[in-house]
Structure 1
Amino acid sequence: MNFFIIGGSGFIGTHLTNLLKEVFPTCIVYNLDIIENNHDGKSIYINCDVRSDIHIGVPVTSEDVIFNFAAVHRTPGHPDQAYFETNIRGAENVCAFAEKCGIKKIVFTSSIAPYGAAEDLKTEETLPTPNTPYGISKLVAEKIHTIWQAKKSNERQLTIVRPGVVFGKGENGNFTRLYWGIREGKFFYPGRKDTVKACIYVKELVRFMLYRLEHHDKGVELYNCTFEPAYTIEQIVEIMKKATGMQRTVIKIPGGILMAVAGVVGLLGGKALGICPARVKKLMISTNICGKKLADSGYEFHYTFEEAIRDWYKDNDNLYLR
């Protein structure tokens, strides 16, 4: 059994590659991506743009597994068309590749974005109501993978995961910006401290993916991937400070003031730094995602939230989070 990671050069793909070579030392990991990365010899890189038909020159068997991570995901940040072109057409081409090669197992990393922005708690049974191009494209991509599975429902296995904010070494995203914002005295609670921000440690996410591969024979599974219960932004900040030894006071500023400041900073070039009204507004809305199904699946978490932050800090020689 070998593994094809579509979009394997990125953050999650790198951590999955490390885990696969730890658990299956003799396996071959193929990294299909537009950006080269052989993970220090742990994977074989194949140039692949999922927006086009996928053709590779290596042997493939029906026992091999596809992990599909390829996506345009940062939002806001891309033209609407980019989300649809990569995420929808990419899903079609990945499933066509699996069909052509007779592959029976796919793990697809979706997002919590298909739920849409709302304060209500969302479970896997919640009706998706995406309100961004990214969320819409990911929901359509889920359906494309589901159609692939349904064509041979007695043989094919599809696991769809909807992670909250994924954090860990190499993330360079929300949690990294939060850490440096606190450390440099530039982060303020935007209007409230009780905003719920569902999240998952990257090492936990990839371990859960392998766990489901081993405990799922056929059919379609959908899992929210987040700590249960999800943490508030205040809890995240306080635990992050404790785990990294930061002595900082974080104050709350009215949302309207922050929105106005972000608008001015954005006009002056702050968008390049991720400072804009859309990002501030995003911080003020909860991602209240229920992780109970994962918690009840039999999977045993390897890290508490605080342990995860400490492990990430240790991965950076106890100097910073990055």
Structure 2
Amino acid sequence: MSLNKITAVIPVRAGSKRLVNKNLLAFGSSNLLEHKITQLKELKSLNIIDDIVVSSDSDLMLDIAKTHKVKTHKRADEFADEVSKSFSEVIVNVVSNIQNTSHILWAPCVCPLCGVENFKNALEIYNQQVIKTQNYDSVISVVNFQQYLWDSKKPINYVLGKGHVPSQKLPHYQTVVNGFYIAPKEKMLQWEYFCGTNPYRLEISQVEGIDIDTEFDYICAKACYRAGGGGNCLNNNKYCLLLFITKFTGGGIMVAPRILITGGAGFIGTALAHKLQTLGYNISLIDLEFKFQSIHKDFKQYGLDIRDFKNFKNLKDEKFDFIFHLAAQTSSAISQENPELDVDTNVKGTLNTCNFARICEAKKIIFTSSMATYGNKKGIIKEQDSQTPLSNYGASKLSGERYIEMFKQFGIEHTIFRLFNVYGPGQDMGNLRQGMASIFMAQSLLGDTIQVTGSFERYRDFVYIDDVVNALVIGMQEHSNSQIYNVGSSEATSVKELIELIIALHKGKKFKILNIGGHEGDQFGSVADISKILTLGWKPEVCLKDGLSKIFEYAKEVMCGLK
């Protein structure tokens, strides 16, 4: 076996959930995918590898590959959804479609600091240890570590009490990272995996081995890249890591980015807080004191009313990197009855939040606006369509958008998400003034009458809470700066269709449907054009039928005491 015809494969997919569309996250002067392509093209220019192939289910990612004049492999959806096919089946599908090659360099783009020098070294070792001497069957990248490890019951590698040893004396362990996997093509197909049972474990540094799986990994990788001067490979890794810590933390202990969520005890705010917590962020919540519950106990809480700027004095010494501004009066009907409340909460409250952002030195505000800013529009609504709100609520959210945009002059970036009809577990089922899906669901559980305000032909675009939260997290990424995105399903559901879906969940129970007349400011219909946010890799994952089933089960539990 000789080292000829070696192809580098970059496997990427569109469906990343923990870190949405991570392969296209901004990195250096481009994004993670383009960064990896650039590294591998340098290898090809040195005649070290013969070809580069990007394998993906995403047309956008394949188009990026084509602009860089590298080959592509279009993966069917079932080989990218992490459900339909096993990991082994995915590898066989990808590798078997790589033509005219004898060896595969599997090079994920999620280890951006593993670069050209690492690849050169790995391929030299592969040639010597796998091809020539056959001492090993493949080469993989690993990072050494010494940590105090436990299983679910007891320590694994040290003794408690008098037998305790310093960390320097702990056994050396290795963790496999997604820097590279190199093996003969035929062997990969035989193993149905990208390495064999006797791989050469090539150690790379902790910096080079940063494997982007969470937002925090991403922040670390970007900071190290900048600290190292933006090179493909950080040769002096201890220096770069020290420089990274100094730049990122001011010389102190490295901490997760600090996030403030206004309206943090609300429906969307609570779901967002828990999502960000799983990503390793430091979360603080602002809301009215009485709204906080036991589910918020793991977060720092500030019980205050954003309508009065003096209330922010409780946070005068706090610093935040990002502010998610969700606090709002959200009922269109209430906004018509009490417009002053809308102005105080949604306009004045937003201005107060913006002014606090200057004080706490926030880098960015992520703002939840509304489809209500568009007013009545026929057809699919695009972000650039005119905004002619029908309700005081819509007008107040539009005013909030303008304030958020204005504060860019003070160095505060922003991303604005115009949310369509958000629903799901966690909604206030006792509030029968806001949230069409939750209102009808609550009425169906409280009795045998569903009251409808307005035409049964009115229609809405319903989007599930988890999908909305995933969209909001994208707002922290740099390439969303100064952008506005619709967040919906892009599917119209009439009031009549919604009620039929809810009734079907009751399996035979009979209902009386009563039209009690409409109210001012109620839009007849709205459906989002989501093509813009789709380019970021986000897409709605939960269909309305499945989402209603989830909120039905949730509502049955929480409404026991409301009947």
Q: Which residue identity lines up with residue 463 of structure 2 in the other structure? A: I
| TM-aligned CA distance change 1:34 to 1:193, over 3 Å | closer
Pairing 1:233–2:495 present: yes
- Contact 2:488–2:540 (8 Å) recurs in 1: no
**What's the secondary structure of 1:126's corresponding residue?**
coil
Task: Give the Cα–Cα distance (whole angstroms) in 1 for the partners of residues 467 and 326 of structure 2.
Answer: 16
CA distance, structure 2, for counterparts of residue 158 and residue 30 of structure 1: 19
Name the CA distance, whole Å, in 2 between partners of 1:237 and 1:185: 12
1:49/1:289 Cα in 2 relative to 1: closer, same or farther (>3 Å)? same
Deviation at 1:177, TM superposition (A): 1.6
Q: Which residue of 1 aligns with 2:522?
A: 282
Alignment-derived partner of residue 448 in structure 2: 185
What residue number does 1:206 align with? 469
Amino acid at match of 1:282: D
2:305 pairs with 1:49: yes
Larger Rg computed on CA atoms: 2
Letter of the 1:28 partner, please give it.
Answer: N
Task: Please point out which of 303, 309, 322 is paired with 2:548.
Answer: 309
| Superposed displacement of residue 207, structure 1 | 1.4
Contact 2:461 2:526 in 1 (8 A): yes
Q: Which residue of 2 aligns with 1:174?
A: 436
Cα 1:233–1:40, aligned 2, differ >3 Å: closer, same or farther? Answer: same
Aligned counterparts, 1:1-322, within 5 A: 1-24=257-280, 27-36=281-290, 37=292, 39-53=295-309, 54-55=312-313, 56-61=315-320, 64-77=321-334, 78-152=337-411, 156-171=412-427, 172=429, 173-182=435-444, 184-187=447-450, 193-214=456-477, 216-217=478-479, 219-242=481-504, 244-248=505-509, 258=515, 262=516, 277-278=518-519, 282=522, 285-316=524-555
Partner of 1:273: none
TM, length-normalised to structure 2: 0.47
Which SS does the other structure have where 1:71 is aligned? coil
Asked whether the equivalents of residues 12 and 202 of structure 1 are also in contact (C-alpha less than 8 Å), the reply is yes
The structure-2 alpha-carbon separation of the partners of 1:58 and 1:168, relative to structure 1 and needing over 3 Å to count, comes to farther
The letter of the residue matching 2:507 is M
Relative to structure 1, the CA distance from residue 306 to residue 23 in structure 2 (aligned partners, 3 Å threshold; closer, same or farther) is: farther
Cα deviation per residue 1:153-211 (whole Å; 9 max; x = unaligned)?
xxx43111111121112323321221244453323677755422112111211111113
Query: What is the identity, as a one-letter code, of the residue corresponding to 1:85?
Result: D
Report the AA paired with residue 522 of structure 2: K
* Higher alpha-carbon deviation: 182-191 or 64-73: 182-191
- Change in Cα spacing, 1:315 to 1:151, as seen in structure 2 (3 Å) is same
Whole-Å separation in 2 of the counterparts to 1:252 and 1:174: 15
Instruction: After TM superposition, give the deviation of residue 151 of structure 1 in Å.
Output: 3.6
In structure 1, the residue corresponding to 2:343 is in which secondary structure?
helix
Amino acid in the other structure paired with 2:436: N
Query: What is the CA-CA distance between 1:318 and the residue it aligns to?
Result: 7.5
Q: 1:187 to 1:291 in 2, by over 3 A?
A: farther
Gaps of at least 5 residues in structure 2 are 1-256, 430-434
Does the 8 Å CA contact 1:162/1:224 hold for their aligned counterparts? yes
Q: Is the CA contact 2:450–2:513 (under 8 Å) kept in the aligned structure 1?
A: no
- The answer to whether the 8 A contact 2:415-2:480 is kept is no
* Residue type of the alignment partner of 1:159: T
- Name the CA distance, whole Å, in 2 between partners of 1:319 and 1:136: 33
Q: State, as a whole percentage, how many aligned pairs show the same letter.
A: 21
Residues in 2 aligned to 1:219 and 1:17: alpha-carbon distance in whole angstroms: 21
C-alpha separation in 2, matches of 1:150 and 1:71:
24
Partner SS for 1:98: helix
Change (3 A) 1:296 1:234: farther
Shift of 1:79: 1.4
Provide the secondary structure at the position in 2 that maps to 1:303. Answer: coil
Tell me, yes or no, if the aligned pair for 1:9 and 1:35 is still in contact at 8 Å. Answer: no
Q: What are the Cα deviations for residues 204-236 of structure 1, in whole angstroms up to 9, with x where unaligned?
A: 11111113323x346311111111223223333
Q: What is the rounded CA distance, in whole Å, between the counterparts of 1:65 and 1:207 in structure 2? A: 16
Structure 1 residues 179 and 246, CA, compared in 2 at 3 Å: closer, same or farther? farther
Q: Provide the C-alpha distance between the structure 1 equivalents of 2:408 and 2:275, rounded to a whole number of angstroms.
A: 26
Q: How many pairs are equivalent?
A: 291
Offset, 1:57: 4.8
Alpha-carbon RMSD across the aligned residues, in angstroms, is 2.9
Call closer, same or farther: CA 1:35–1:74 in 2, change over 3 Å: farther
* Structure 1 CA distance for aligned equivalents of residues 493 and 512 of structure 2: 18
Instruction: Return the TM-score normalized by structure 1.
Output: 0.79
Aligned CA distance change for structure 1 residues 9 and 189 (closer, same or farther; 3 Å): closer
Instruction: Name which structure has the greater RCO, CA cutoff 8 Å, separation 6+.
Output: 1
Counterpart of 2:395, as a letter, is I
Q: Cα–Cα, structure 1 residues 40 and 94, in superposed 2: closer, same or farther, change >3 Å? A: closer
Q: Contact 2:475/2:481 (CA < 8 Å) preserved in 1?
A: no
